Amino acid sequence: MTDSYVTITVHSKTELTINKSRFIGYASPCSLESEALDFIRKIKEENRTAKHNCYAYVIGENSGIIRYNDDGEPGGTAGLPILNVIRAKCIVNCCVVVTRYFGGVLLGTGGLVRAYTQSCQSALNAAGVSEMKKTTDLFCSIPYPVWDKFRYAAEYLPVQIENIEYGSNVTFHLLYCSNDKDHVLPKLQNASDRKLNTLMQSELYIPWKIK
C-alpha cells in the first residue's frame, strides 16, 4: 500500500477538431481493470459510427496493469501517445478513450501522434488531477471543557474534522495523513489535556490540500 498516488476523481469529455477530424477525449477514474474495460465498451457503444476509439489505461497504485490500443490507427500513433500522457503525469487508476470521427484529411503519423496527445491532455485537464494520500480516519470523543482548546490547536495542524455531533461528549471524525501521525497526535492529545478518546480507526485515500 503506497502512501500516495496521483489520479483523477471525476469523468470528463472534451472535443477538438483537427484538420476536419473530430477528436473526442473521455477520461474516467477506474480502480479495477474491469471498470476500465466497461468504460471502453460504453464509449464504443456511444460512438459506433466513429472511425476509431483508441484508448489507454493504467490500473493499480504501482501501475501494475498497463494497456493501450490503436484501434485501427497506424501502430504507435494513438494508444501509445495516450498512454505516454497518462504516464508523464504519473496518473494511475485512470482510463482515457479518444474517439476519432475521420474528416477526410489524412494527418500523417506525426499529426496523429500530436492529435491524440492533445486530446488526452485536454480530457485529463478537464477531469482534474488530484494527489490521493493514505489517510487515517479516527472516530473520536472529547469532553466539552477541552473542545475549544482542541479545535484551536487543530486549526494549525494538517488535519480535518468532520461529522461533529454534540451529545454527552463531542464526537467527530479526525482525518490526517497517515505519515503525519507522530507529528499531529501528540499535539492534539496535549491540546485536549490527554482527554481525546479514539473509538474507531480506519484508513482510506482522499485528496489533500496543503494548509
- Note the pLDDT tens digit of each residue in 115-152: 999 999 999 999 989 889 999 999 999 999 999 999 99
Question: pTM of the prediction?
Answer: 0.77
Q: Per residue in 165-204, pLDDT tens?
A: 999 999 999 999 999 999 999 999 999 999 999 999 999 8
CATH number of the structural domain 133-207:
3.30.70.240
Residue length of the chain: 211
Q: What is the mean pLDDT of the chain?
A: 94
**Cβ–Cβ < 8 Å for 196, 138:** no
**Cβ–Cβ < 8 Å for 150, 159:** no
Residue 179 grid cell = 505519515
- Taking the C-alpha atoms of residue 105 and residue 15, their distance in angstroms, rounded to an integer, is 18
Q: Which regions of 167-210 does DSSP assign to beta strands (E)?
A: 170-177, 197-207
Q: What superfamily would CATH give domain 4-127?
A: Impact, N-terminal domain (3.30.230.30)
Instruction: Return the domain boundaries, the chain.
Output: 4-127, 133-207
Q: How many CB atoms lie within 10 A of CB 100?
A: 25
Q: Per residue in 144-160, pLDDT tens?
A: 999 999 999 999 999 99
Residue 167 grid cell = 451529545
